[in-house]
Structure 1
Amino acid sequence: MKAGLRAVLPVLALLAACSPERKGDDLVFVSDEEANVVHVIDGASGAKEGDLVTGARPRGLALSPDGRTLYVAASNANRIEAWDVAGRHRLHVYDSGSDPERFAVSPDGHTLYIANEDHSAVSFLDLASGRITREVKVGPEPEGMGVSPDGRLVIATSEAASTAHFIDAATGRLIDSIIVGSRPRDALFVGGKLWVSSEQRGTISIIDPVSRRIASVIDLVAAFPDLDSAQAVELKATRDGKRAFVAMGRGNQVAEIDPASFRIVRSFPTGTRNWGIALSPDDGRLYAASGLSGDVTIIDLKANRVLRRVTFKGRPWGVVAARR
């Protein structure tokens, strides 16, 4: 090796070590119900990129189908805010009905279905007009919201009644209500089935949406006997439907479930009280927001390992990831 090259190599190595980690292709938005902001971080490095100042107590988050608009439920302000993902500025403020928490976006992007927790109702918000077109009465303390891939069926979970409600999206008619595990939190369609998580019971009910009968139950308490508290909160699945994940609340983990067999494949450690989870747009990373430890865990789903944790001063609640 030439003397000049030997001199240059240590310098190059030092520069590589000191250079910042490459940014990811996605931005991660984290609602903080205590700080009244949505934190923005880089999906790969976890580097903090700023805050969106929102109405009081931001909780539920969702993206428009094209990924360009972020919707935020400001629970104590009784509104839904629309933010431009690329420019990070607020586009619109919508009257959401009383105490919005979680909500779902229709597949065509025209309607938000909003759980009004202290009003025992689901509001249909038409985004074009900015008006609530109908209000559907459901059980007490509705929280989880889901919508079928074809947009025809809306699901609301009632925490206090341990019930999943089936609503016709076109008419707002309440079709059926079935009993699930205690304090249901989230509803997600995976592979033609409806999954409903139960925080207190620590189960996921797998429901046939046609017959509206429970076909199977995944029991996290039985699967994790060494945990003091195995809960089931937010649900997410990869776009190909081959991997599913559940935030385990005070179990302080995210469990991965095989949707074909309903078998628990593995789990990843998170911060304390993991409430919200999200997948990166390419399904390569998972983000877990933990309120009591005030952090977000970034998990590499290709290597199946925790990459890092990003700590905030408040109480992270929800999380979504969008392309830059």
Structure 2
Amino acid sequence: MMPKTGRRSCWSLVVALLWWCGSISSAASAGSMAYVANEKSDDVSIIDTATNAVVRTVAVGKRPRGVAILPDRSRVYVANGNSDDISVIDAATGKVVATWPAGVDPEGLALSPDGTRLYAVNENGGTVTVLDTKTGTAMATIEVQVEPESIAISPNGQIAYVSNETSNTISVIDTAALKVVANIPVAKNPRGIAFSPDGRYAYVTSEQIEPGVLSVIEVARHKVIKSIPVGERPVGVVVSRDGRKLYVAHGRSNAVYVIDARTLTITTQIPVGQRAWYLAFTPDEQRLYVACGRSDAVAVIDVAAEKVIATVPVGKMPFGVAIPK
């Protein structure tokens, strides 16, 4: 028979192992969550991408839209347009741990590649507020043009592109100097922006022309080199990791268009829910999650099969979606 002290030591080891396994499991599951900002229910739906089930709903500020996740996956930032602030969610607990002022009407969000800076686009303010992600302190307020919506940071972190819906331009921000160094004319009402993985090109959607337009900007010259017609009301755009495919969500065509990045031809149209806005890949790029505002749902696309494999009900009017990389 094992002595009591031995049994105690054995039990302590079992408890420690269970705790360790649980910690690993929590960390793994945290990395597979999709965070969806629902602008009319003032909350964030957290979807476990392994099961496509909503595992938590987190109340945030008023009219949440943009979502960004730290590279280390520890924090999730949500822009609340009608609260003029940012909700900071702890990814491990799924709880709001801080609320930071972020200028007038924050909408689009982007993080620097090292995660030290958060850029919040102030739609009604015509500015971009730059925040220190450790303290929430505003480092700079950068004036852009009229009605900015979204922002993307180049892969090397040296520049940021901001879409200005009413000015029909892309403002180019030098992230070292924290100032605008150029404004690029694009088609009417630019919305989504994505850089190619090598940083040579940026892709911009413009929604208020018929049909919508996808413009290709040569980053070295900050100049549009080609534009192609797409569907009605294109908004979100993402690029595959190998740079070969573009995926564009359309708010009126209610579809995601797949585009060959080399030939700039549309290869597939994938029907999704109503008012498809922004979208995000899972880390392995096997699935694509699309916020469908008028459907109050997220469409899950199997990337290889190019079809919707699940529809996940979320809050009211989902707008932004982000998944840890």
State the TM-score, normalizing by the size of structure 1: 0.86
Which amino acid in structure 1 is aligned with residue 159 of structure 2?
L
Matches within 5 A, 1:216-227: 216-221=226-231
Once residues 266 and 302 of structure 1 are traced to their aligned partners in structure 2, the CA distance between those partners, rounded to angstroms, is 12
Once residues 42 and 135 of structure 2 are traced to their aligned partners in structure 1, the CA distance between those partners, rounded to angstroms, is 27
Kindly state the Cα deviation for residue 317 of structure 1 after the two structures are TM-superposed. Answer: 0.9
Alignment partner, residue 22 of structure 2: none
Contact 1:242–1:259 (Cα < 8 Å) also in 2: yes
Once residues 273 and 59 of structure 2 are traced to their aligned partners in structure 1, the CA distance between those partners, rounded to angstroms, is 24
Runs of 4+ that moved beyond 3 A: none
Matches within 5 A, 1:255-274: 255-274=257-276
CA deviation digits over 1:25-53, x for unaligned, max 9?
A: 72121111111110112214322212011
Q: 1:241 to 1:66 in 2, by over 3 A?
A: farther
Aligned match for 2:220, one of 191, 206, 210? 210
Structure 1, 69-78 or 23-32: larger mean CA deviation:
23-32
Alignment of 1:29 with 2:35, yes or no, is yes
Alignment of 1:63 with 2:69, yes or no, is yes
Once residues 61 and 76 of structure 1 are traced to their aligned partners in structure 2, the CA distance between those partners, rounded to angstroms, is 15
- Aligned pair count reads 293
Matches within 5 A, 1:66-85: 66-85=72-91
Alignment partner, residue 195 of structure 1: 203
Aligned match for 2:254, one of 252, 255, 268? 252
Alignment partner, residue 91 of structure 1: 97
Alignment partner, residue 318 of structure 1: 320
Kindly state the Cα deviation for residue 68 of structure 1 after the two structures are TM-superposed. Answer: 2.6
Kindly state the Cα deviation for residue 216 of structure 1 after the two structures are TM-superposed. Answer: 1.1
Contact 2:30–2:92 (Cα < 8 Å) also in 1: no
Which amino acid in structure 2 is aligned with residue 121 of structure 1?
T
Aligned match for 1:114, one of 117, 120, 125? 120
Alignment partner, residue 305 of structure 2: 303
Kindly state the Cα deviation for residue 195 of structure 1 after the two structures are TM-superposed. Answer: 1.0
Kindly state the Cα deviation for residue 241 of structure 1 after the two structures are TM-superposed. Answer: 2.0
State the TM-score, normalizing by the size of structure 2: 0.86
2:243 counterpart SS class: coil
Cα-Cα RMSD: 1.7
Which amino acid in structure 1 is aligned with residue 218 of structure 2?
D
Alignment of 1:164 with 2:170, yes or no, is yes
Unaligned stretches of 5+ residues in structure 1: 1-22, 222-229
Alignment of 1:185 with 2:191, yes or no, is yes
Unaligned stretches of 5+ residues in structure 2: 1-28
Kindly state the Cα deviation for residue 24 of structure 1 after the two structures are TM-superposed. Answer: 11
Which amino acid in structure 2 is aligned with residue 265 of structure 1?
T
Once residues 83 and 314 of structure 2 are traced to their aligned partners in structure 1, the CA distance between those partners, rounded to angstroms, is 22
Once residues 313 and 95 of structure 2 are traced to their aligned partners in structure 1, the CA distance between those partners, rounded to angstroms, is 24
Contact 2:249–2:279 (Cα < 8 Å) also in 1: yes
Kindly state the Cα deviation for residue 79 of structure 1 after the two structures are TM-superposed. Answer: 0.9
Question: Identity rate of aligned residues, in percent?
Answer: 34
Structure 1, 314-323 or 294-303: larger mean CA deviation:
314-323
CA deviation digits over 1:161-185, x for unaligned, max 9?
A: 1110111111122111121011111
Once residues 51 and 268 of structure 2 are traced to their aligned partners in structure 1, the CA distance between those partners, rounded to angstroms, is 24
Contact 2:277–2:290 (Cα < 8 Å) also in 1: yes
Kindly state the Cα deviation for residue 289 of structure 1 after the two structures are TM-superposed. Answer: 0.9
1:292 counterpart SS class: helix
Kindly state the Cα deviation for residue 291 of structure 1 after the two structures are TM-superposed. Answer: 1.0
Kindly state the Cα deviation for residue 92 of structure 1 after the two structures are TM-superposed. Answer: 2.3
1:234 counterpart SS class: strand
Once residues 162 and 193 of structure 1 are traced to their aligned partners in structure 2, the CA distance between those partners, rounded to angstroms, is 19
Kindly state the Cα deviation for residue 119 of structure 1 after the two structures are TM-superposed. Answer: 0.8
Once residues 109 and 313 of structure 1 are traced to their aligned partners in structure 2, the CA distance between those partners, rounded to angstroms, is 28
Once residues 117 and 228 of structure 2 are traced to their aligned partners in structure 1, the CA distance between those partners, rounded to angstroms, is 31
1:194 counterpart SS class: strand
Kindly state the Cα deviation for residue 214 of structure 1 after the two structures are TM-superposed. Answer: 0.9
Contact 1:25–1:43 (Cα < 8 Å) also in 2: no
2:124 counterpart SS class: helix
CA deviation digits over 1:224-247, x for unaligned, max 9?
A: xxxxxx121011122222222111
Q: 1:56 to 1:78 in 2, by over 3 A?
A: same
Matches within 5 A, 1:122-137: 122-137=128-143
Q: 1:46 to 1:154 in 2, by over 3 A?
A: same
Which amino acid in structure 2 is aligned with residue 169 of structure 1?
T
Alignment of 1:284 with 2:254, yes or no, is no
Once residues 179 and 322 of structure 1 are traced to their aligned partners in structure 2, the CA distance between those partners, rounded to angstroms, is 32
